[in-house]
Copies of this chain bind each other. A is one copy, B any other.
Amino acid sequence: MLQQVNRQIILVERPIGIPGESCFKLVTSEMPKPMEGHLLLKTRFISVDPYMRGRMNDKKSYVPPFQLNEVLNGAVVGEVVESKSNNIIKGNYVIGNLGWQDYSVATEKEVRKINPENAPVSTALGVLGMPGLTAYFGLLDVAKPKLNETIVISGAAGAVGSIVGQIAKIHGCRVVGITGSDKKTKYLIDELGFDAAINYKTSNLVKALNEACPNGVDIYFDNVGGDISDAVLSLINNHARISLCGQISLYNGIQTPIGPRIEPLLLTHSAFMKGFLVHNYADRFEEGSIQLAHWLREKKLKYAETVTDGLENTPKAFIGLFNGDNIGKQIVKVA
């Protein structure tokens, strides 16, 4: 049975620093009705991602900012509950950029069908979705790992980092993860096969990295930035590659972050640093998706999900990303 109202989460205040729950509000609106050519989708899983913090500022970037008093949006897995379209029918699962709400309306072109027989549908938000593709291209295309090289990954237990490490293992690298709890270091080593993992909150990071990287650092896959990157960069080898995926430690900063200038290090080591967005690789998503699914079937890739229950808890799940609450992909399960 369909509800009579559609619950939605809107942004009522632009956060300054770490977002508070008061920036978000749960409102209700009328149930949307699909017009001809449209689908009515019941939200099953919502993805919350660190990059969304940038969209909460009123500043043009590579994606437009969220608008105040409008429904927040991002990657969502929905189930088709009514179809006025041809190729996607009732009962199908789809993924698309949809609202943080119980129900959405979309055209076929705005969503992509997912096959629940291949893997749980929530993996379309994680290992088989943007985070998996981000790991795939950010490691293989940007950093180009070679056998026996040492890679350090910050945010290593997150949705992207945990996949990067496993792909690097597949390519014969020594893999060292930096993360924020002993539970996570244990997970990285025992479950995912990392060679070493460091809890940056309880270690002398430079010392711990030195021990974990006896041959220096050839690749740094950076999800975090800030002080953690300063420590890693102090150990880079000649011709090191730094793949810049995220800078979560800086997203909530109020002022321009300041730190040691890195150009002298890059210069004297003939190193490079490259920022990338997964959407740069849109024309190769199929290649990446096929390979990730293949590794998943072969059990060369494992994934974890941290699942928060209830649409109303989406803001809390989002905010938790900045406390490192999640292992693997943080998703919200909606009824």
Contacts and interface: CB of A to CB of B under 8 A. Distances in A.
Interface stretch (A116-124, A162-170, A200-208, A268-276): A268-276
Nearest to A142: B272
B280 A275 contact: no
Nearest to A276: B270
Interface size class of A (residues with CB under 8 A): 35 or more
A88 interface: no
B225 A264 contact: yes
A261 B257 contact: yes
Interface stretch (A38-46, A76-84, A244-252): A244-252
Contact of A263 (B238, B247, B280): B247
Number of copies: 2
A323 interface: no
Residue among A247, A262, A268, A269 with the most chain B CB within 10 A? A268
| A contact patch SS | mixed
A229 interface: yes
Interface in A65-107: none
Residue among A61, A222, A261 with the most chain B CB within 10 A? A261
Interface string A272-298: 111111001000000000000000000
A267 interface: yes
A258 interface: yes
A54 B267 CA distance: 12
B280 A264 contact: no
A266 interface: yes
B280 A267 contact: no
A129 interface: no
A110 to B, nearest CB: 24
Contacts of A271: 274-275
A273 B280 CA distance: 17
A214 interface: no
Residue among A244, A245, A274 with the most chain B CB within 10 A? A244
The 5 closest A-B pairs by CB, nearest first: A267-B275, A272-B274, A266-B275, A257-B261, A259-B261
Given A257-B260, A268-B275, 15 more contacts: A61-B268, A62-B238, A225-B264, A226-B261, A229-B263, A246-B267, A247-B263, A247-B264, A257-B264, A258-B261, A259-B261, A266-B273, A269-B275, A270-B275, A270-B277
